Structure 1
């Protein structure tokens, strides 16, 4: 099934013609629980990974844990609509101290499936995203890993990894992604309006318009940030949202070039401030109820992943040289 973003509640370029010069495109991925294959773009599905290639491992020290959830028990509990049982951490050695920890595969995207996906090093057309399942240091930092591939070249390897390595316990249930198929859809997008993301006079006009809308319509007033600029959830390209941190200048640590947004991973596809972005096909499933149904949760939190305290994970790459190290920003 396709996913269709409704028309915006207000024609933003009719209200602010200057924004036409700043218009961009983003591809909403619309992940929904399913059974994707290794040859498909997905979140949480089997990775297109050669059988003779080592799985990515995190070699850094990790924060000690006292309890966790077994991956297979998480899967069984989700299938039954229940919550998994936590277990004491086995042994006395903190996770990662006894050896490297396998990364968790979060997503893979083929350029053939996802309009606007930037090319990787040597024109690579497949990107795979991983996260270490544990935290690092006193600030509970996360480690991510990006792997680029030539899809056709990888296909020639012939033998692929069937079952990737897993840690025996995950600290949180939301460390394990729910396998999701994607429904890519391109939409127009506009920069976050704060600091120097747009010309100062234009931002001032947007702020004044939002104040006037709120005075006239109250809580139901459309807002630029919530309804007109950047959609929520998983998306490729376009502009980053800066709701938690405020705008940041992201430069390549190798060459100082301004970096571009490769993709955004979000824990929620919709929330109270972004209802207008809910796809038409999902509206009947998410009518407000006292207790959300499993169908409604599959729309609001399809991947079951979280990033920080319900933030977005922005992955930036260097347009001057995609082989330079990516940067990860939670906002």
Structure 2
């Protein structure tokens, strides 16, 4: 039986212990991406977009630079490489498969190329996410729209892909662009999301401890010692890892601050404090030893039919930085205002 992923209950209700957290609670929708074959009419990660045939496809004009130590790959070659590796799982590769992989990623030869090379030309952006408001409770679409489409340039700008957001009414798209353009090159294969269907689930989240008052941080730190001891965890990370906010791809909720500190995020147009729209995650599992956020009754223990890639921890095959998250912030007063990107 195909049962949707469900987040296990939190070990305790932290807001009951610390009532100061009650007004800070936010809902978030975990997307739970799983490999599949999404269509234009599905909410998806890496799937086809319901894009009007008469609307220009987004392109990024650069600059685009590549690390000379790594090969520049095309989306077609990335897909071919994934298919070969999936098909050869559990057996030795054929000579033809090995030859193809060596063509895609040639052996390094001396002298090495320059460390950084510019790549000239406009880059067609790649689909990252398509979210229908009917599927995602925390997707607060602007009036007159019910669909969010997220694309990105598969090159770092400067430390993560540059994204573009499009809000539209699905009912107005009657003539669909069947074969959108693709970029001739990608900086990393991890910037090509594997097509995934979604299993949205709404949960409640609380802020990272760094966004709390100093007094509440101290109270949480002292209280966490016996709690963490029972779970054999570090008390300094117990609240953030287990009780505050979920890992993985999600809409809404709170950001996690692992590699940088929180900072003011005013809307560049009107000054309103911006909120998380979408979290693009490397990993679906949490940082705690018990992986307490990992969903149970998970239907995707094995690859879906026709799937080229499946890793329970990284079903989308996306990687941000060295395993971080890319948060897209929008203005809650006017979602059409320019958005903000942060890597944490």
Q: TM-score, normalised by structure 2?
A: 0.82
1:256 lines up with 2:271 in the alignment = yes
Q: Which runs of 5+ in 2 are unaligned?
A: 89-100, 108-116
Q: How does 1:247-286 map to 2 (within 5 A)?
A: 247-273=262-288, 275-282=291-298, 285=301
Higher mean Cα deviation, 266-275 or 108-117?
266-275
- Say whether the 8 Å CA contact 2:286–2:293 is kept in structure 1: no
> 1:72 pairs with 56, 72, 76, which one?
76
Secondary structure of the residue that 1:143 maps to in structure 2? strand
C-alpha spacing 1:112/1:306, structure 2 compared with 1 (3 Å): same
Secondary structure of the residue that 2:156 maps to in structure 1? coil
Which residue in 2 is equivalent to 1:86? 105
Q: How does 1:156-235 map to 2 (within 5 A)?
A: 158-194=174-210, 197-215=211-229, 217-219=231-233, 223-235=238-250
Which residue in 1 is equivalent to 2:112? none
Q: CA deviation at 1:96?
A: 4.8
C-alpha spacing 1:15/1:202, structure 2 compared with 1 (3 Å): same
Distance 1:256 1:10 in 2: 37
In the alignment of these two chains, the number of paired residues is: 311
Distance 2:77 2:299 in 1: 31
- Say whether the 8 Å CA contact 1:32–1:298 is kept in structure 2: no
Q: CA deviation at 1:86?
A: 1.9
C-alpha spacing 1:81/1:174, structure 2 compared with 1 (3 Å): same
1:107 lines up with 2:129 in the alignment = yes
Instruction: Provide Cα deviations, 1:188-238, integer angstroms capped at 9, x if missing partner.
Output: 1111111xx223322211111223334555338781100111000011111
C-alpha spacing 1:283/1:211, structure 2 compared with 1 (3 Å): farther
Distance 1:173 1:284 in 2: 23
RMSD over aligned Cα, in angstroms?
A: 2.7
Secondary structure of the residue that 1:227 maps to in structure 2? helix
C-alpha spacing 1:77/1:296, structure 2 compared with 1 (3 Å): closer
Distance 1:302 1:45 in 2: 13
Distance 2:170 2:64 in 1: 33
1:325 lines up with 2:327 in the alignment = no
Secondary structure of the residue that 2:312 maps to in structure 1? helix
- Say whether the 8 Å CA contact 2:72–2:185 is kept in structure 1: yes
Q: Which runs of 5+ in 1 are unaligned?
A: 89-93, 287-293
